[in-house]
């Protein structure tokens, strides 16, 4: 007996984007959908991503910035990014929208159980929880299996803590987001601040680290935040709420499907860009691809697009972050000093040509990258 035609495991960013896309199809095409989520309470996040065209979730964008800023010991650089926009979505609104969509649909059933394992039996896939085994024709899963990441692959954590603050004086430039400010102590790691101003008196200020540790203590994060706010803005403020998180950044190429034919989605499919930690846009593009496959009955799912040469660039940078973290602020400084924000966004979006990439690399510390390429090639032999 089949419990649903489709099972989606994980009601997070990827699971919800997939359900949203499936519910746009007629019920006869999708059949019943079962959504399995282990957490009763979803952890809220601030999602930012850049686009130069209309996107599915434009109506949820709470704020966007048309100017970006980069800070380093040499200089502060800012630039217009039109036709791009740097968009912010508060995940509370994202989940509210999807939960309403799900509760108004008779096609989707939600259960709160932890998935323990998967198996397959002839044509059907089986999803095992503590007390049940659910069967379906198609299973999509957002569970990341960290144990599959081979030991020789770089795995670094982007971990951060942010404060939503309200200041007494108008201190923020509300049309300008600071994507990286390296003007803070690096302490042999990669540290930068991220500032998203929602108005002249309200902002999310986040301390971020790339390191092999997956978190610092609250006291450490708070010390960086306090120092930065006092030095940069020198104002009194009220702390409204906090946000903490960690994002895996790895060169490991997550498989598109498991041996049982379970289709991976989101971070589990490698949607997190290894060198930046951004995933929202890549999840949207992957969802579109999965829907095309579903509609053409093609379940020979390919790895996320964007591997190839971009994966090689990401790997080089990850290896430098791991082995020479003190060099990262210099690389970023060279990148931003010598290229426009638009060129950088387009490169990070993996939409540049090889020629454009070569001209961008020409602006970076060449010996450092050549050494890393040499080590990379040696490791492949
Ligand atoms: C705090 C934070 C801020 C971020 N900000 C940005 C950003 O600004 N821009 C950007 O592009 N990316 C950002 N990211 C990265 C990425 O977009 C998010 O991590 C995104 O949520 C990944 O989507 P996902 O569906 O793969 O995972 P999740 O959203 O984490 O969803 C996975 C779901 O699966 C459930 N689950 C896991 N295991 C099981 C199990 N065994 N059984 C049942 N359910 C299970 C989890 O409870 C969870 O609800 C951020 C990440 C974090 C943590």
Residue 320 within a domain: yes
Ligand 1 atom closest to the Cα of residue 267 is: 26
- Measured N-to-C along each axis, helices 13-22 and 280-295 cross at an angle, to the nearest 10 degrees, of 40
**Sign of the alpha-carbon dihedral angle for 32, 33, 34, 39:** negative
| Domain end call among 263, 295, 327 | 295
Pocket test for ligand 1, best of 17, 18, 39, 47 (most atoms within 8 A of CB): 47
Q: Are residues 331 and 349 in the same domain?
A: yes
Residue 190: its H or E element = strand 190-197
Domain shared by 242 and 257, yes or no: no
5 Cβ contact partners less than 8 Å away, ≥ 6 residues apart: 30, 31, 32, 33, 136, 137, 138
Going by CA atoms, what residue is nearest to atom 52 of ligand 1?
245
347 by DSSP, 3-state: which? helix
What does the pLDDT average to over 287-293?
95
Ligand 1 center from residue 267 Cα (angstroms): 7
Q: How confident is the model at residue 235 (pLDDT cuts 50, 70, 90)?
A: very high
Average pLDDT over residues 186-196: 92
From CA 178, how far away is CA 70, in angstroms rounded? 6
Question: In the predicted model, what is the mean pLDDT of residues 178-193?
Answer: 93
Helices (H), 24-147: 27-30, 91-103
Among the atoms of ligand 1, which is closest to the Cα of residue 36?
43
99 domain-assigned:
yes
- Rounded to the nearest angstrom, the distance between the alpha carbon of 344 and the centre of ligand 1 is 25
Residue 1 in this model has a pLDDT that exceeds 90 = no
Q: Give the number of the atom of ligand 1 that is nearest the alpha carbon of residue 273.
A: 11
User: Does residue 217 lie in a domain region?
Assistant: yes
Q: How many domains does the chain have?
A: 3
d(CA 329, CA 325): 8
Q: Kindly state whether residue 36 falls inside one of the protein's structural domains.
A: yes
Q: Are 146 and 202 in contact (CB under 8 A)?
A: no
Q: Which residues line ligand 1 (CB under 6 A)?
A: 9-15, 36-39, 42, 45-49, 114-115, 142-143, 243, 245, 247, 266-267, 272, 277-280, 283
Nearest CA to ligand 1 atom 35: 10
Reported as a single tens digit per residue, the pLDDT across 256-274 is 999 999 999 999 999 999 9
Can you give the CATH number for the domain in which 123 is found?
Answer: 3.50.50.60
- Average of per-residue pLDDT across 152-174: 94
Could you tell me the residue range of the domain that residue 314 belongs to? Answer: 308-380
What is the pLDDT, as a whole number, of residue 189?
A: 87
């Amino acid at each position: 007996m089949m419990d649903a035609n489709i099972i989606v495991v994980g009601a997070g960013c990827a699971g919800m984007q997939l359900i949203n896309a499936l519910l746009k199809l007629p019920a006869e095409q999708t059949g019943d959908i079962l959504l399995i989520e282990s957490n009763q309470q979803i952890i809220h996040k601030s999602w930012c991503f850049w686009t130069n065209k209309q996107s599915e979730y434009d109506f949820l964008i709470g704020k966007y910035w048309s100017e970006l800023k980069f800070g380093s010991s040499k200089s502060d650089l800012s630039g217009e990014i039109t036709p791009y926009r740097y968009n912010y979505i508060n995940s509370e609104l994202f989940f509210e929208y999807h939960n309403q969509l799900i509760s108004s649909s008779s096609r989707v059933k939600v259960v709160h159980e932890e998935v323990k394992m998967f198996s397959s039996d002839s044509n059907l896939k089986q999803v095992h929880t503590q007390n049940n085994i659910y069967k379906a024709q198609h299973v999509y899963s957002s569970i990341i299996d960290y144990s599959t990441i081979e030991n020789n692959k770089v795995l670094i954590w982007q971990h951060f803590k942010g404060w939503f603050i309200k200041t007494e004086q108008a201190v923020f430039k509300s049309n300008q987001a600071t994507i990286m400010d390296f003007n803070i102590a690096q302490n042999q790691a990669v540290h930068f601040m991220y500032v998203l101003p929602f108005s002249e008196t309200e902002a999310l200020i986040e301390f971020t680290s790339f390191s092999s540790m997956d978190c610092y203590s609250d006291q450490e994060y708070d010390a960086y935040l306090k120092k930065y706010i006092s030095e940069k803005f020198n104002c009194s403020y009220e702390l409204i709420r906090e946000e903490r998180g960690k994002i895996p950044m790895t060169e490991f190429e997550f498989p598109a499907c498991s041996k049982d034919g379970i289709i991976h989605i989101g971070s589990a499919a490698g949607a997190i860009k290894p060198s930046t930690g951004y995933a929202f846009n890549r999840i949207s593009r992957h969802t579109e691809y999965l829907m095309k496959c579903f509609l053409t009955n093609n379940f020979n799912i390919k790895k996320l697009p964007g591997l190839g040469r971009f994966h090689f660039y990401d790997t080089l940078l990850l290896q430098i972050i791991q082995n020479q973290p003190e060099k990262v602020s210099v690389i970023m400084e060279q990148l931003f000093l010598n290229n426009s924000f638009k060129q950088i966004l387009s490169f990070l979006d993996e939409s540049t040509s090889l020629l454009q990439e070569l001209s961008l690399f020409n602006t970076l510390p060449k010996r450092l990258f050549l050494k890393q390429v040499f080590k990379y090639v040696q490791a492949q032999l």
